[in-house]
Amino acid sequence: GESVGLHLPTLSVQEGDNSIINCAYSNSASDYFIWYKQESGKGPQFIIDIRSNMDKRQGQRVTVLLNKTVKHLSLQIAATQPGDSAVYFCAESKNRDDKIIFGKGTRLHILP
Amino acid sequence: EPEVTQTPSHQVTQMGQEVILRCVPISNHLYFYWYRQILGQKVEFLVSFYNNEISEKSEIFDDQFSVERPDGSNFTLKIRSTKLEDSAMYFCASSSGTRNTEAFFGQGTRLTVV
């Protein structure tokens, strides 16, 4: 069945360090994996996505890694800043115009 | 930057009443969606809408729910007879239909059923 989940509900990281948020998925038919950031009281905000034919994609301060062998997705945030405090959701979809299946979310705390 | 706008930001309603949540998707987008998020939980898909009809819906989207695009700009979600468990954040989203860009989400409407 369709299922996307995260390994840790909360992650605390020192400001300036790198953050790694992990996610496991189960639907091998998904072609498109996405990371969303949700700040308190706001809607999900797109961070970065990756197609199933790739294993790594980089954005500004963020990198997404996809390991299809073990069905694992991760988000790396370089030099974590206070503004990175939020809940991060991994999600999957068949394509960019299809429904999005969200995972449970990891709350990222930034320590001063 | 284009954005999806939702109104109202917060709606309080009595159980059994009808509510209509409104959304203005990004103007040149072709796919429209509603999602909901119960407090502290993950975001759940409700329904997708394309070419003036529902393209897919989840088990949550039962006959108490309906969607409509009454004109060229608005996209609405109606809950016919609200229940306490309908209390949640409701997010509207839209995507271009070209598979070239991601879906954009609105800021949400917090629905509280009392």
- What does the pLDDT read at residue B60? 96
- What does the pLDDT read at residue A4? 61
Question: In terms of residue numbers, what domain contains B21?
Answer: 5-113
Decide: residue B18, CB within 10 A, 0-12 exposed, 13-18 middle, 19+ buried: exposed
Give the A-side interface with B, CB within 8 Å. 34, 36, 38, 41-46, 49, 89, 95-105
Question: Does position B4 have pLDDT exceeding 70, yes or no?
Answer: yes
CATH code: domain of residue B75: 2.60.40.10
- What does the pLDDT read at residue B76? 98
- What does the pLDDT read at residue A2? 41
Tokens of B73: 């700009």
Q: Please give the single-letter amino acid code of residue B103.
A: A
Chain B neighbors of A89, CB-CB under 8 A: 42-43
Rounded distance between C-alpha atoms, residue A18 and residue B105, angstroms: 27
- For residue range B17-56, what is the model confidence (pLDDT) as tens digits? 999 999 999 998 999 999 999 988 889 999 999 999 999 9
Question: Does position B11 have pLDDT exceeding 90, yes or no?
Answer: yes
pLDDT along chain A (112 residues), means of 10: 58 96 86 93 93 95 95 96 96 89 92 91
Secondary-structure class of domain A4-111 per CATH: mainly beta
Contact yes or no for B42 and A102 at CB 8 A: yes
CA distance A45 to chain B (A): 7
- What does the pLDDT read at residue B102? 84
Chain A neighbors of B97, CB-CB under 8 A: 97
Contact yes or no for B102 and A46 at CB 8 A: yes
Residues B90, A8, A10, A20, Cα dihedral to 10°:
-100
- What does the pLDDT read at residue B17? 98
Say which residues have a Cβ less than 8 Å from residue B83's Cβ, sequence separation at least 6. B15, B64, B113
Contact yes or no for B33 and A99 at CB 8 A: yes
- What does the pLDDT read at residue A5? 55
> What residue ranges do the domains of chain A occupy?
4-111
Q: Please give the single-letter amino acid code of residue B105.
A: F
Chain B neighbors of A105, CB-CB under 8 A: 42
- What does the pLDDT read at residue A1? 35
Under the banding of pLDDT at 50, 70 and 90, the label for residue B74 is very high
The domain total for chain B is 1
- For residue range B19-29, what is the model confidence (pLDDT) as tens digits? 999 999 999 89
